[in-house]
């Protein structure tokens, strides 16, 4: 019994001195706390929104659902439209609408990084290919959207989309919006 304990203790000590992976320079990567994305929004025009309050989120979520804007305060107690509840003291929401397009299952955030001047958010459509004999090649109409809950910052947000359309090629980032704190 004593040998088993000593053996376990020795392995534990050796493991604690094993070489560790080098730390990345800078802070931990920024990732969305929550991502809601899909192909069917009632919003048919492209748009980018920085939402820093529950009232702003309710207004944009209701538009996304095709429901009228609330008269006065949104009814959070019943929350009939299923507006996500967010702690806006520590988070904010970026909403992206792709307008009317083809073959998109929504959006994905590819990378987020902070500099002293801005927070850059790189995103991409979740595109897919179709084939068919009809005039549009079997394409599926979509009105893609993405709601991304991010750690709150007072930095301006720069949204960049990957506009590279070829499979296997490196991304090509194009700035789509610059959203300041209002």
pLDDT band at 26 (very low <50, low <70, confident <90, very high): low
Q: Residue 105's pLDDT is what?
A: 92
CA–CA distance, 158 with 118 (Å, rounded to integer): 7
Q: Residue 8's pLDDT is what?
A: 38
Determine if the pTM surpasses 0.85.
no
Q: Can you tell me whether residue 59 is helix, strand or coil?
A: helix
Rounded to whole angstroms, what are the CA distances from 41 to 2, 44, 60, 104?
66, 7, 11, 12
CA–CA distance, 119 with 30 (Å, rounded to integer): 10
Q: Where are the domains of the chain?
A: 28-179
What's the average model confidence in pLDDT over 16-42?
Answer: 71
pLDDT band at 7 (very low <50, low <70, confident <90, very high): very low
Q: Residue 15's pLDDT is what?
A: 35
Q: Residue 129's pLDDT is what?
A: 80
Per-residue pLDDT of 89-116, as tens digits, reads 999 999 999 999 988 999 999 999 999 9
Radius of gyration of the chain from Cα atoms?
22
Strands (E), 128-179: 141-142, 145-151, 157-162, 173-179
Is the per-residue pLDDT at 14 higher than 60?
A: no
CB atoms within 10 A of CB 148: 22
What percent of the chain clears pLDDT 70, i.e. is strictly above it? Answer: 83
What's the average model confidence in pLDDT over 55-64?
Answer: 96
Is the per-residue pLDDT at 78 higher than 70?
A: yes
Mean pLDDT of the chain: 85
């Amino acid at each position: 019994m004593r040998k088993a304990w000593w053996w376990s203790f020795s392995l534990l000590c050796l493991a604690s001195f094993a070489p560790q992976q080098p730390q990345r320079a800078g802070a931990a990567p920024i990732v969305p706390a929550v991502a809601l994305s899909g192909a069917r929004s009632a919003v048919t025009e492209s748009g980018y929104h920085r939402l820093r309050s529950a009232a702003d989120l309710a207004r944009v979520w209701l538009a996304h659902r095709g429901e009228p804007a609330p008269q006065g305060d949104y009814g959070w107690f019943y929350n009939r439209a299923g507006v996500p509840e967010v702690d806006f003291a520590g988070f904010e929401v970026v909403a992206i609408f792709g307008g009317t397009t083809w073959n998109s299952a929504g959006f994905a955030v590819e990378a987020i990084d902070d500099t002293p001047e801005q927070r850059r958010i790189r995103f991409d459509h979740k595109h897919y290919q179709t084939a068919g004999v009809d005039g549009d090649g079997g394409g599926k109409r979509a009105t893609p959207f993405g709601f991304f809950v991010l750690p709150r910052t007072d930095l301006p947000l720069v949204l960049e989309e990957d506009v590279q359309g070829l499979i296997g090629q490196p991304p090509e980032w194009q700035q789509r919006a610059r959203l300041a704190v209002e």
